[in-house]
Amino acid sequence: MADIILTTLNAKYVHSGFGLRYLLANLGDLQSCSVLREFDINQRPIEVAEALLADEPRIIGLGVYIWNVTPLTELATLLKRLRPDLILIAGGPEVSFPDDLPPFARLVDYIITGEADLKFRELCRQILDGNPPKEQLIPASPPNPDHLVLPYSFYTPQDLNHRIVYLETSRGCPFRCEFCLSALDSGVRLFPLTRILSALENLWNQGCRRFKFVDRSFNITRDHYDGFLNFFLGRSEPGLFLHFEIIPDRLTPAQIELAAQFPRGTLQFEVGIQTFNPSVAERIQRHQDYRQLEQVMRHLREDTGVHLHADLIVGLPGETLDSFAEGFDRLVFWNPHEIQVGILKRLRGCLIQRHDQEWQMIYHSAAPYELLQNKLLPFLLLQRLKRFARFWDLVANSGNFHSSHRMIWQDASSPFHAFLEFSDWLFHRLRRQHGIALTRLVEELYFYLTGVLRQPSAQVVSSLADDLRRCGRTEIPPSLKAVFPTLSSSRTQPNTHPPPRQQRHQGV
C-alpha cells in the first residue's frame, strides 16, 4: 500500500524513468509513503491500471512524454472511471506549456508545468493535509541544482543490470535551436562536480558499467568534460560504455586526445548536426562552424576509438530535397558509425511553430507529431523519406551490414539518391517497414546488388558472408544456400564490450 505512486510508461523496458527518480529523491518525509512503479508502452493500459490500483494510492504522479501521451490518455481515463476520488498529477514535456496542452490534460487533477523536482512534494503535502490548490496548473521554477537531492541511489540492482542508467551533470542549453525544447531554457545550470563524481563512485561500486549522460551539451565546460572522462579513464575495463551528447566544433585537441585514450567503442559521442544548409540553420537559430565541425569529426573518426552517432533532421523550414541530399552525402563521406535520420516533430512549446504559415508546415495531430508535408516537401515525398530513414536504420545503422551496405552506392555519385532508390525498391518488394527478419534483409540486399545493380555475385556473397560472420550470425536464407558458403560464427562467446550495436560497427 502507498499513498503516493510515481509512474510512467517508458518507451522500452530497458529505459528508466529518470524524472521519477528525481521526484522520489526529493519527497522528503513523504518518501516513506511513496513507491515508484514503471511500465512500458507495450503493456496494456488496463493491466497497468490494475497494478496501480492494487496499492490503493491516494495520489498518482504521471510522467507524460511524446512517446507515451496516447496510452497514458487511456490509462488516465480508466483510473478516473474506476476511482473518481483518486488524485492524478501530471508533469513532463507534454504538459509543460499551458498554451499548448494535449487533450490528456482534461483527465487529470493537477499539472505541474516546468521542472517538478521540488514542487511535486509541495503539492502532495497540500493534498494530503486537506488543503489542495484550486488551480489545476501549478507552475514550477527551474530549481538550483545545489538544492536537489540526487536520484542515483534509487537505481536498484535490477536497474543497474537490465536498464539504461541515466545521469546528468547540467541542465539547460546555451543554444536556441527552435526545434528543441532546450531552446526555452535560460542558460546552463551545472551540478557541482564533486557531488556527481561521488554519485558515480557509488554506482561504480554497485557494479554499474553503462552510463548515459543526458546533458544537451556535455562539453560546454572543460572542467566537467575533463573531470568525468578522467574519472572513467582510471577505471576503464571491459564492459564500460559511456554515452555523451557533445558539441564537436567546441572540442579542443587536448579533449580529443583524452577521448583517444579510451579503448575502442567505450565512448559514444552523439553529434546533433541536423542540417548542412547555412540558411536553414540561421532560420532556426542553430549556429555551428562547419569547417571546424568537419575537422573534429574526421579527427575523432580517424584517430580515436570513439563511436560516432550523428543526427540529421528531414523537414526543417527551407530545407529542400537537394540540400538535404547534399548534406547527407557530405556526412557519409565523414564516415560516422551511425547517421540517425529523424523526421521533424512539432514538440509542444517549441519556437519552430513560428514558421508554420510561411513554410506551410503540416504536422500529424497525434503523437509524435511528425511533419506530414511542407512547402518544399509534399506528403508523398516525405513518406518516401520516412521509409528511407527506417531502412537506413535497419541496413546501415544496425551494423549488420557493415561492409555490404556501402555497395549500394559504390558506383553512384550520391549515396543519398542511391539509397533512396534502394529504399523505394525494397518497400515495393516488401510493402512494409517493420517486422522484417534479418535473413529476409540479407536475401533482398543480395537480389538488389546482383539483380538491379548488376554487381558480381561472388563479390556480393563474400561481403554479405563477412558481415554475417562478424555479427556472430550463421543463418543463411534458403534461397541463397546454393551460392553462400557454410558460415560459422567467428565468436566463441558473447562479447559485452562495447554493446552489440556499437560492437558491430567497430568490429570488436
Q: How many CB atoms lie within 10 A of CB 422?
A: 23
Q: Are residues 346 and 417 in the same domain?
A: no
Do 86 and 79 contact (CB within 8 A), yes or no? yes
Q: Where does 54-178 have alpha helices with state H?
A: 69-82, 119-128, 157-162
Question: Quick check: helix, strand or coil at residue 63?
Answer: strand
Do residues 423 and 377 touch, judged by C-beta distance below 8 A?
no
Q: Among 315-324, 340-349, 478-487, which is the least confidently predicted range?
A: 478-487
**Whether the bond into 498 is cis, omega within 30 of 0:** yes
3-class SS of residue 352? helix
Span 76-99, pLDDT tens digits: 999 999 999 999 999 999 999 999
Q: Are residue 267 and residue 122 in the same domain, yes or no? A: no
Looking at the structure, tell me whether residues 125 and 168 fall in a common domain.
Answer: no
Domain assignment present for residue 246? The answer is yes
Residue 152 lies in a domain: no
Residue 460's pLDDT is 95
The amino acid at 496 = T
- Report the CATH number that the domain containing residue 277 is assigned in CATH: 3.80.30.20
Q: Which three cell numbers stand for residue 239?
A: 564492459
Q: Is position 348 within any domain?
A: yes
Q: Report the distance separating Cα 191 and Cα 194, nearest Å.
A: 9
Q: CA-CA distance, 260 to 256, in Å (whole number)?
A: 6
Q: Which residues pair with 4 in a beta bridge?
A: 34, 59
CATH value at residue 96: 3.40.50.280
Q: What pLDDT is stored for residue 185 in this prediction? A: 73
- Do 364 and 504 have their domain in common? no
Element (H, E) at 388: helix 379-392
Residue 346 lies in a domain: yes
- pLDDT-based confidence at residue 500 (cuts at 50, 70, 90): low
Assess if residue 365 is contained within a domain: yes
Tell me: do 84 and 216 sit in the same domain: no
Nearest to 53 by CA among 80, 72, 16, 21: 80
Position 476 confidence tier, pLDDT thresholds 50, 70, 90 = confident
| 385: in domain | no
What does the DSSP 8-state code read for residue 393?
Answer: I
Which candidate, 2, 34, 36, 43, places its Cα nearest to that of 16? 36
Q: Structural domain tally of the chain?
A: 3
Please enumerate in sequence order all residues whose Cβ is within 8 A of that of 101, keeping only pairs 6 or more positions apart, or say none.
95, 111, 348
pLDDT one-digit tens code per residue, 17-50: 999 999 999 999 999 999 999 999 999 999 999 9
Residues in the chain: 508
- Look-up: residue for cell 509542444? 348
Cβ 266 vs Cβ 228: under 8 Å: no
Give percent of the chain with pLDDT exceeding 90: 83
C-alpha–C-alpha distance, residues 142 and 23, integer Å: 14
Q: Are residues 10 and 101 in the same domain?
A: yes
- pLDDT value at residue 484: 86
Q: Under DSSP, is residue 74 helix (H, G, I), strand (E, B) or coil?
A: helix
Return the closest-CA partner of residue 32 out of 3, 10, 62, 69: 3
Give yes or no: residues 60 and 136 share one domain. yes
The mean per-residue pLDDT over the stretch 431-446 comes to 94
pLDDT in the model for residue 494 = 43
Q: Collapsing DSSP states into helix, strand and coil, what is residue 384? A: helix
- Give the H/E segment covering residue 307: strand 307-314
13 inside domain: yes
- Same domain for 369 and 425? no
Does the structure show a pLDDT above 50 at 472?
yes
pLDDT on residue 507: 60
Task: Report how far residue 227's alpha carbon sits from residue 266's, in angstroms, rounded to the nearest whole number.
Answer: 17
Q: Residue range 290-311: average pLDDT?
A: 95
pLDDT band at 70 (very low <50, low <70, confident <90, very high): very high
According to the model, what pLDDT value does residue 489 have? Answer: 56
Give the CA dihedral 119, 121, 122, 124, nearest 10 degrees: 120
Domain assignment present for 393: no
483-499: string of b/e by CB count within 10 Å (b at 16+)? ebeeeeeeeeeeeebbb
Q: To 10 degrees, the CA torsion angle through 272, 273, 275, 281?
A: 90
Beta bridge partners of 35: 5
The answer to whether residue 496 scores a pLDDT higher than 70 is no
Cα–Cα distance between 267 and 351 in angstroms, integer?
A: 32
Tell me the pTM. 0.92
Q: Are residues 180 and 232 in the same domain?
A: yes
Closest to 67 (Cα-Cα) out of 370, 312, 315, 501: 370
Q: Are residues 110 and 243 in the same domain?
A: no
Domain carrying residue 413: 402-508
Confidence at residue 495, expressed as pLDDT on a 0 to 100 scale: 43
Same domain, 237 and 117: no
Residues 263 and 346 in one domain: yes
Mean local confidence (pLDDT), 290-306: 95
Say what the pLDDT of residue 490 is: 52
Residue 436 has pLDDT above 60, yes or no: yes
